[in-house]
Amino acid sequence: MMKLWLKRPIVLILLAAGVALGGALLGNAVLAQAGADQAAPGERAEGSDGRSGRILDLTPEQIERIQQNHLSVVYHFAGALNATETATEKATVVQCTNIHASETTEVEVQLFQYDASAVYTGTISVDPMKTATFESSPVPFYVADVFLGAGNVEQGYGRIMSTHEDIVCTVQTIDPVNSPPTWSFDLPLYHRTAGGALLPAILREQSR
């Protein structure tokens, strides 16, 4: 009888330890699952969220029609490059943030060859305070929302269109091989004023 009494506290202690250990493991599993659930919405599958297209051998009539009626041109840029040959690889990256407090916007980037013989287009919906990244061809340094799938572009012209003007954008021509890139340079953006003049985007607020 005495032996059974002595064993009972040990059994109770073991049971309590088992319950505590099981609770801790279960709690960690729940927290891990909650963390995974919270992280999932922030994940982006590279190049899968937007739409892209191309037109080769453009005609003047096509150039007039490729601006959708519900979009207006917010920015222009020139000097874009894209090359996919191993010895001379180059790419252009456009990043746009929707700074509107509540309204989603559609953003479209069109990249033209220097003689307008080809145009490469990418389009995506951007939620408030979200940034979309467009790449003329894959750049390992960034996660792309839209690949334009561009061919060779030399001294290209580009325009950025949106359903509203509350977007902020940057454009880079960049090394598409190394991460981090070994070289890159910024392309200035231009915005058309109400009077029709094209001014550097840095002067945009003064031109409104």
User: Under a CB-based contact definition with an 8 Å cutoff, are residues 45 and 124 in contact?
Assistant: no
> How does pLDDT run along the chain (208 residues), one tens digit per residue?
444 444 555 544 444 555 444 444 434 443 334 333 333 445 777 877 789 999 999 888 888 788 888 999 999 999 999 998 878 899 999 999 999 999 999 999 999 999 999 999 999 999 999 999 999 999 999 999 999 999 999 999 999 999 999 999 999 999 999 999 999 999 999 998 878 888 888 766 544 5
Best CA proximity match to 93, nearest among 201, 191, 187: 187
CB neighbour list of residue 159: distance below 8 Å, 6 or more residues apart: 73, 75, 76, 77, 109, 110
pLDDT at position 84, please?
A: 87
Q: Are 50 and 145 in contact (CB under 8 A)?
A: yes
From 104, 78, 77, 122, select the one nearest 167 (Cα to Cα).
104
Single pTM value for the model? 0.76
Structure tokens at 190: 């231009």
